[in-house]
Amino acid sequence: MRLPPAIVTSTEEILRDILRFTGPADGTLSRFFREHPKLGSRERGAIAEGIYGVLRNKSVYTSFSESGNGPTMRRMTLLGLAGAVGADSLGGLSEEETAWLEHTMQIDRTLLPPLMRSNLPQWLFDKLVAREGEEGALALAAALNEPAPLDLRVNVIKASREEVMTALAEAPILAEVTPFSPVGLRVLKKPALQNLPLFRDGLIEVQDEGSQLLAQIVGAKRGEMVVDFCAGAGGKTLALGAAMRNTGRLYAFDISEKRLAKLKPRLARSGLSNVHPVLIAHENDAKIKRLAGKIDRVLVDAPCSGLGTLRRNPDVKWRQTLVGVAELNVKQISILAGAARMVKTGGRLVYATCSLLDEENEAIVTAFLAAHADFVLVPMKSVLAEQRVELEMQDYLKLTPSQHQTDGFFAAVFERIKTV
């Protein structure tokens, strides 16, 4: 069954707005869907996937849309929708548009220039090529330009992974165990989970396997005092609380009341009672100073460029800039230093980002260690062995979609030592 012609028009309208890059694409889409409640799930899905298809393939589609007749934006829209649902599903196309689509979609992309093929901005492509070589950069770009799978974290205080797999199969929803996270499942399609009793009752949470591993390497234990320093909506907070088996005390700090508000319904579903959300003004808030030297483990999932999440947020690569990254570096150093004060002697501090850039990752670690003689780096190889995670790493956790089928993540673990 073909989509009505109005879907093409609506998608073009939203795309025009999103390509101004004044804000996140998902927010613009959500607002449009709220304003058009009569759209069915099929239409919503086609519009969203069409938009994300353009954002993932913007360099190529921009070049392709410069051929043919008519408005360029309409041709970009057609390419996005055709890639998402197939050209045969689009209603209201002229014969000329249909012929142009068929021809354009058959172009061999391997013949295109590397930068265009990567669908990355020049500055980011250059950085990846400098580190990975052109072939490695193109492989990473290709993986970043694929839609992400749907990963779930099993809430182990309510159910085992096997029990959840069985319940999903009865739904019926096919899932497989994640290769690295011991509490993860990868759903083979993308069903609506919100109405499942498993979700409503807090037995599962949507969480990328890489994010699950970040919580795992914190190593939070029963009865400890733990801080999730940049908790946001609390995905890792909930994973930490479950790892602690709902004992001890887990603080969820964030500077955004709106983000912490999103944690509350998830917390209620989870069954956790050891989590304490705390709104802070900044990384030097008095609430943090009161915990100086008292905390066993601190996770700093720092504000970052988000370039490791391009599978889910492809607009980020077009909105982020070198200047923006430099501004984030200042925040990252300051936040890590603020969080470090809470760690007690023998305690651990985990610095993490969802970035692929060395200046947000290794460079921050180097700067931190140079300024904090009372902390040492714990090799990630040792941390993963402690946690029985079968993953080959050296000093740092470095996950990529091309190698590990996760979002791009970086993490380093520090331990506070006694100083003379």
What amino acid positions are annotated as catalytic residues?
354
> What whole-number distance in Å separates Cα of residue 345 and Cα of residue 416?
5
Do residues 184 and 153 make contact, with C-beta atoms less than 8 angstroms apart? yes
Do residues 90 and 179 make contact, with C-beta atoms less than 8 angstroms apart? no
What would the DSSP string read from start to end of 377-391? EEPHHHHHHHTT---
Q: Which helix (H) or strand (E) holds 394?
A: none
**Among 109, 372, 334, 318, which Cα is nearest to 230's?**
334
> What whole-number distance in Å separates Cα of residue 304 and Cα of residue 118?
22
> What whole-number distance in Å separates Cα of residue 2 and Cα of residue 95?
15
Question: Residue 279: beta bridge partners?
Answer: 254
Question: Residue 176: beta bridge partners?
Answer: 186
**Among 230, 228, 224, 235, which Cα is nearest to 256's?**
230
Segments in 36-121 forming alpha helices (H): 41-56, 58-65, 72-85, 95-104, 114-118
CB atoms within 10 A of CB 390: 9
Q: What is the four-CA torsion angle of 245, 251, 255, 260, rounded to 10 degrees?
A: 40
